[in-house]
Structure 1
Amino acid sequence: MTSTSRGIDVSAYQASQDWTALKSGGLTFAFAKASEGQTSRDGRFATHIKGIKAAGLVPGAYHFAWPNQDASREAANYIAAVKAYAGPGFLHWLDLEAYSDGRNYRGRTAAQIKAYASAWIAAVQKAFPGQRVGIYTSASDIAAGHVPSGVPLWYPAYPGSRVDTFAEAEAVSKPAPSGRAVTIWQFTSTPAKGPRVDSNLAYLAPAALRAWAKGEDTDPGSDYTPPAFPSGLAPGKSKPSAVTLQRALKKGKYMAASVAESPHYGPKTEAAVAAFHNAHPQYRAKGTTHDVAIGPKGWAALFRLAYGK
């Protein structure tokens, strides 16, 4: 079985699609633009998302961000646009990119843009518990520090004619902008052949993508980097296993004992790490409002609280 899945994304710029035929042709997922800013909605969102869901594709929606507006109002606009269609297996994305003239970023610092993204994600996660929320963003936004840690990344980068088809995208190395892990790569927006739609490659096999979209801890699905400690329990210099972290979270009562252990860091582990940070905010990464990635200082504190050492 292939280790990738194929998908496209659409907006009001694209006409209605034959989603059943696209699925038969090898598509696994499709995303549609739902909203933009504080009040704007995409005029073809309902048509697109109904077709995507009816065809049995992994569905998702995205919101085009205006970080120089109010994050809570923008999240409310998106939530209202998608609430009739969102459910288990539905993916949510914040499209964090500047207009060519910078008008949606104007007057905001990198820290403010990051805080906006964190607030939008937190609001959407609260509205749709257990559903995945990620960020679509560029290499320049990542390098500028606009992107919170611990979120799935949908990454646009266009190599040109040498990578113009799904087969060509599957044959090249997975991108890693600024060392961040990429869940989905948008590799072209103007393919030489076929319809003029954005083509995307997810780095999960179709069955794994469906499980991941439903919130199962089947794959990291984010740029989370585990803290440094050895194969034992005490912090040290070698990388940990996710299971060791999960056992410490359970021991510290931040994760339910009934949660199945997994070799991957997924939403259940993220929720437990967030619970630890909420209980002990001094170990939360500076400037974040919902930190789901644990660093060496936080891990050392968790180890002491869980095992008394």
Structure 2
Amino acid sequence: MIARLLALFVLLTLAACGSGSAPPAAPGVLFAPNFRDAKPVDFAHPSPARFAVHGIDAARFQTSINWNIARANGVNFAFLKATEGGDLLDIEFKKHWRKAGRAGVVRGAYHFYYFCTTPEVQAQWFIRNVPRSRGALPPVLDMEWNPFSPTCAKVRPPAAEVQRQMRVWLRIVEAHYGQRPIIYTTPRFYEENDLKSFRGYEYWLRTTAKTPREAFPGQSWRFWQYSATGTIPGIKGDVDLNAFSGSRAEWNAWLARRAQ
């Protein structure tokens, strides 16, 4: 026990000094978040600080992450952008996936959905690029409007068609990975597509100004993306911050059920 505590102390010391050679912590060890927010919000109850287990999501914008240091500072899990539409692979995905795994960060992959490509093609693109790795988090379907796409910005099907396409993608991906995917969404997309009626899936909710209870009344959630302007030792630039919905014990129990 003493040896283990000493090893963790050394790891944290190296992380605090910004060392690039900090070794990965022992598997299963959870770290309290040493996060800051460039634009902090005074959330109503419950605030993100109430939750014990925190993590991040990362994509091509996070070009420099020392995963060992980030983990020692509270990045216990990471959702990594993998694919978009039917032909785009995030240029940082493979590196993030490999290095997060080596650092012992529990990681999962997400797909950004496009309404210009069939759900079958998008599901197969995700499967082609995301490995079935032991201990990985469930795959995530990211459902939000994309106002920046030169081809898909104005393609916004009615709610019934949105839900139909979601179910096709979710069924294909679940069959391949043996895990029921998680749905990520925003307040606007959730409301406009009646996702309160879309049952049977766990939700990862984005709300950076209000609590999930305020932004998604009546909706249960598993993960809460509460900031887009987090700063964490080991990560260059801003990063999204996320909280798990329960205690450390509940995290371990959920992970035992859900990690493949």
TM-score (norm 2): 0.70
Matches for 1:58-207 after TM superposition, within 5 Å: 58-83=106-131, 85-100=132-147, 103-104=152-153, 106-129=155-178, 131-145=179-193, 147=195, 148-159=198-209, 177-191=216-230, 195-207=237-249
**Given that residues 157 and 187 in structure 1 are in contact (C-alpha distance below 8 angstroms), is that contact kept between their aligned partners in structure 2?**
yes
Taking only the aligned residue pairs, the percentage that are identical comes to 26
Unpaired segments ≥5 residues, structure 1: 161-171, 218-309
Q: Is the 8 A contact 2:229 2:238 kept in 1?
A: yes
Shift, 1:137, TM fit: 0.2
Which residue of 2 is the match for residue 276 of structure 1? none
- 1:215 match: secondary structure: helix
How far, CA to CA, are the matches of 1:193 and 1:182 in structure 2? Answer: 24
Which consecutive unaligned segments of at least 5 residues does structure 2 have? 1-31, 33-49
| 1:33 counterpart residue number | 81
CA-based RMSD of the aligned residues comes to 2.8
CA–CA distance in structure 2, aligned partners of residues 196 and 74 of structure 1: 29
Q: What pairs with 1:254-293 in structure 2 (closer than 5 Å)?
A: none
Give the deviation of 1:206 after TM superposition. Answer: 3.8
Give, in angstroms, the shift of residue 140 of structure 1.
1.5
Q: Distance in 1 between matches of 2:156 and 2:186?
A: 20
- Give the AA of the match of 1:123: I
**Residue in structure 1 matched with residue 100 of structure 2 by the alignment:** 52
Task: State the shift of 1:213 in Å.
Answer: 3.2
Q: C-alpha separation between the residues in 1 aligned to 2:55 and 2:160?
A: 32
Contact 1:63 1:94 in 2 (8 A): yes
Separation in 1, partners of 2:93, 2:231: 25
Displacement of 1:16 in angstroms is 3.0
* C-alpha distance in 2 between matches for 1:81 and 1:213: 23
Rg: which structure is higher? 1
Query: Which residue identity is paired with 1:53?
Result: G
Name the TM-score, length of structure 1 as normaliser. Answer: 0.60
- What amino acid does structure 2 have at the position aligned with 1:155? L
Deviation at 1:26, TM superposition (A): 1.9
- Contact 2:158/2:193 (CA < 8 Å) preserved in 1? no
Residues 197-222 of structure 1, C-alpha deviation per residue, up to 9 Å, x if partnerless? 111111123453243234259xxxxx
Task: Give how far 1:63 is off.
Answer: 0.5
1:241-274, CA deviations, whole angstroms, 9 ceiling, x for partnerless residues?
xxxxxxxxxxxxxxxxxxxxxxxxxxxxxxxxxx
Higher RCO (CA 8 Å, separation ≥ 6 residues)? 2
Q: Which amino acid aligns with 2:229?
A: T
